Structure 1
Amino acid sequence: MTQEKEMSFLDHLEELRWHIIRSTIAIISAATLAFLGKSFLFDVIIFGPTKPDFFTYDMLCNASNLIGYDSFCDTVFDFEVQSRTMAGQFSAHIWTSITFGFILAFPYVLYEFWKFISPGLYTKERKHSRGFLFFSSVLFFIGVLFGYYVICPLSINFLGTYSVANQVHNDFDLNSYIGLVRASVLASGFIFELPIVIYFLTKIGLVTPAFLKKNRKYALVIVLILAAIITPPDVASQIIVAIPVIILYQFSILISKIVIKKQKRQS
């Protein structure tokens, strides 16, 4: 390992504090931009999946037409989003801006995290920092887009039109609606980091390709459970969510194999 100088525990804490401060400043800066763009943030992004002409509904409608169905072609939401507390809308504006700021600043936050742990790594490992930051950021953003364009509209389409009786009208609380969007987006973003997690677990010897293959059936069950949690309880939606996660798992096995091969060549 390479390290310019020995640091005490308190020095490490001080170093960590500054990484956290810089990351927080980046998030707040991005959140401020999001806060100022309130109309775009809410009218276009947050409430986009409630509009009949949303991209996902058009795509699913065209896909269903190819096989002779008209699913998602007449998507109309007969529900209202209400704020039932005095500070409800302002609070939603603040926290939504912070969430959006975190998403935008994610590559920089990851960069600060890497800067903190990199002094404890070997020189060869530190050379791969750019690749780590690039692929981690790309996977996170792909996951965020998947959550926004797939999980979120499927959930809103199911839950927004679900009814137990004609006498019950759907009026959703603002924080409840935004919580659904936030959970769908962030959960997908972090799930798509699976290959990166497997890479590091393989590097430190906690995971091997044989272990991943042996437990593939258990992983499949876990994936289906996760899909059931973050999607509406219909089989089609769960399959749509489960497929990319299963692909990520297979890709993680490949990454684990590559890491093991490199370690064998170096030993």
Structure 2
Amino acid sequence: MTQEDIDASKAPLIEHLIELRQRLLKSVIAILIAFVVCFFFATDIFNILIRPFEAAAGTERSIELIYTAPQEYFFTQLKLALFGALFLAFPIVASQIYMFVAPGLYKHERGAFLPFLVATPILFLIGAALVYFMVMPLAMGFFLSMEQIGGEGKASIQLLPRVSEYLGLIMVLIFAFGLVFQLPVLLTLLGRAGLVSSAALKQKRKYAIVIAFIMAAVLTPPDPISQIGLAIPTLLLYEVSIISVRLVEKKREEREAEKAGA
């Protein structure tokens, strides 16, 4: 290889690195802008996230949360702002990723990649909604059931969660469910790449059941409601993934049959 060939190969690489830097810069700016907006409304967002707790406690009880360090609620607001910023900025970040990758794909590959890009945030939001409207109220109801009314020979035991601990709990659950709901996207992409097959997924179903409950035990609080609430949707998504991979295989077989006929 001559020096001219080496220089020619360096030029496209430098152009790609410059474009990557520009895409990353735009993504970071989008996250920073969303962070500032979310920090301004951090208290309002936190009050929205408390509603599952209120639903579990009922209308007769007023919700009380505490913070035990002067800076605790401030740092909680920072975490909350970053949490909201990642949600708001995701469409921009995803579009930057797509625009960086798209020029290197064939036309039919770009058409196949776009639905997965759209499905990713939708499935994440479905997982987050499941946490917000069902799992979190059930989990908080379970924790509240452990309270004890004081009396003769009994201590009064009440749940007074710290703001940071409550936010940490609901954020962990939302991210855990949101990531698990990406299972159909991940397995379908692996199926398109030929790395997994629907037959192999069916054969590994019993292992998937065990792994789903292990993941649920690791990713959720140590209460049965949260763990079952994550494990069951995971198994349902696994079955959906098998169907999706099988559809991909059928399309591949049809294309191969057309090529053979031609």
The answer to whether the superposition gives a TM-score over 0.5 is: yes
Distance of 2:168 and 2:227 partners within structure 1: 20
Higher-Rg member (1/2):
2
Q: Does 1:196 align with 2:201?
A: no
Equivalent in 227, 230, 238 of residue 241 of structure 1: 230
Give the drift of 1:203. 1.8
Secondary structure of 1:81's partner?
Answer: coil
Which residue does 1:27 correspond to in 2? 31
Q: Does 1:154 align with 2:154?
A: no
Structure 2: which amino acid aligns with 1:18?
Q
Q: Does 1:96 align with 2:80?
A: yes
Cα shift readout 1:4-59 (whole Å, capped 9, x = no counterpart): x976444333322222222222222233332222342122x1211221xx3xx5xx
- Asked if structure 1 preserves the Cα contact closer than 8 Å seen for 2:66 and 2:163, the reply is yes
Greater CA deviation, 114-123 or 195-204? 114-123
Distance of 1:170 and 1:236 partners within structure 2: 18
Distance of 1:94 and 1:146 partners within structure 2: 25
For residues 169-184 of structure 1, what are the structure 2 equivalents within 5 Å?
A: 169-184=158-173
Which residue does 2:70 correspond to in 1? 86
Which residue does 2:218 correspond to in 1? 229
Secondary structure of 2:161's partner?
Answer: strand
Equivalent in 124, 137, 140 of residue 140 of structure 1: 124
Secondary structure of 2:92's partner?
Answer: helix
Equivalent in 49, 52, 55 of residue 49 of structure 1: 52
- Asked if structure 2 preserves the Cα contact closer than 8 Å seen for 1:77 and 1:161, the reply is no
Distance of 2:172 and 2:114 partners within structure 1: 29
Distance of 2:204 and 2:111 partners within structure 1: 32
Secondary structure of 1:185's partner?
Answer: helix
Change (3 A) 1:38 1:218: same
Equivalent in 226, 231, 239 of residue 250 of structure 1: 239
Runs of 5+ consecutive residues of structure 2 not aligned to the other structure:
1-7, 149-153, 257-262
- Asked if structure 1 preserves the Cα contact closer than 8 Å seen for 2:43 and 2:77, the reply is no
Equivalent in 174, 193, 205 of residue 216 of structure 1: 205
Cα shift readout 1:140-198 (whole Å, capped 9, x = no counterpart): 11111112222322332323443698465544332211111111111111111111111
Change (3 A) 1:255 1:14: same
Structure 1: which amino acid aligns with 2:203?
K
- Asked if structure 2 preserves the Cα contact closer than 8 Å seen for 1:194 and 1:252, the reply is yes
Give the drift of 1:220. 1.0
Give the drift of 1:137. 2.0
Change (3 A) 1:155 1:260: same
Secondary structure of 1:127's partner?
Answer: helix
Aligned length: 243
Change (3 A) 1:217 1:177: same
Distance of 2:155 and 2:63 partners within structure 1: 13
Secondary structure of 2:65's partner?
Answer: strand
Q: TM-score, normalised by structure 2?
A: 0.80
Q: TM-score, normalised by structure 1?
A: 0.78
Change (3 A) 1:159 1:236: closer
Which residue does 1:128 correspond to in 2? 112
Identity of aligned residues (%): 33
Structure 1: which amino acid aligns with 2:108?
K
Structure 1: which amino acid aligns with 2:46?
F
